[in-house]
Chains A and B, each alone.
Chain A
Amino acid sequence: MTGLLWVTWRQHRAVVSWTTVLVLVVVLFSPDLIDWAFRNAFGAVVAVFWGAPLVAREFEERTYLVAWGQDVSPARWLAVKCGLLGSAAVVLAALLDVRQIGFTLFGFALGVVAGFVTRRTVPAIAFTLVGYVLVRWLFAGETSVWLFESSVLCGVFGAVLIPVAFVLLSWRTNAFRMGVA
Chain B
Amino acid sequence: MIWVTYRQHRWLVAGTALAVALMALVRVLPRMPDYISYGAFGAIAAVFWGAPLLAREYEERTHVFAWSQDVSQGRWLAGKVLALGAALTLFAVVLWLAGLGTTTSRYPWDSFELGLFPLLGYAWFGFALGLAASALTRRTLVAMGLSLFVFTVTRVVLARWGREHYLPPVHTWRPDPPPGVDYVPQLPRDGLWIDSGYADRNGDPMPPPLQCNGDDTCLKANGQIGHFVDYQPGSRLVTFQLIEFAIFVVLAALLLFVAFRALRRGTRSRPTGSAAGTPVPAGSGSSTRSRATDPDAASVRPEEEPR
Chain A residues with CB under 8 Å of chain B are 15, 18, 22, 31, 33-34, 37, 48-49, 53, 57, 121-123, 125-126, 130, 133, 137, 140
Given contacts A125-B48, A125-B144, 7 further A-B contacts (CB under 8 A): A15-B141, A18-B145, A33-B156, A49-B145, A125-B47, A126-B48, A130-B19
Nearest-Cβ distance from residue A131 to partner chain B, whole angstroms: 12
Does B140 count as interface, using CB distance less than 8 angstroms? yes
**Are B160 and A140 in contact (CB-based, < 8 A)?**
no
List residues of chain B with CB within 8 A of the CB of A49.
141, 144-145
Residues A137 and B48 in contact in the complex (CB < 8 Å), given A33-B160, A37-B152:
no
List residues of chain B with CB within 8 A of the CB of A133.
36, 40
| Chain B interface main SS type | helix
**Are A122 and B145 in contact (CB-based, < 8 A)?**
no
Nearest-Cβ distance from residue B91 to partner chain A, whole angstroms: 15
Q: How many residues of B contact A (CB 8 A)?
A: 21
**Are B32 and A53 in contact (CB-based, < 8 A)?**
no
Please name the residue on chain B nearest to A41 by beta carbon.
Answer: B152
Q: How far is the CA of A34 from the CA of B145 in the complex (A)?
A: 16
| Chain A interface main SS type | helix
**Are B141 and A34 in contact (CB-based, < 8 A)?**
no
**Are A37 and B156 in contact (CB-based, < 8 A)?**
yes
Q: Which of B132-180 contact A (CB under 8 A)?
A: 140-141, 144-145, 149, 152-153, 156, 160
List residues of chain A with CB within 8 A of the CB of B32.
137, 140
Q: How far is the CA of A171 from the CA of B247 in the complex (A)?
A: 51
**Are A122 and B48 in contact (CB-based, < 8 A)?**
yes
Does B268 count as interface, using CB distance less than 8 angstroms? no
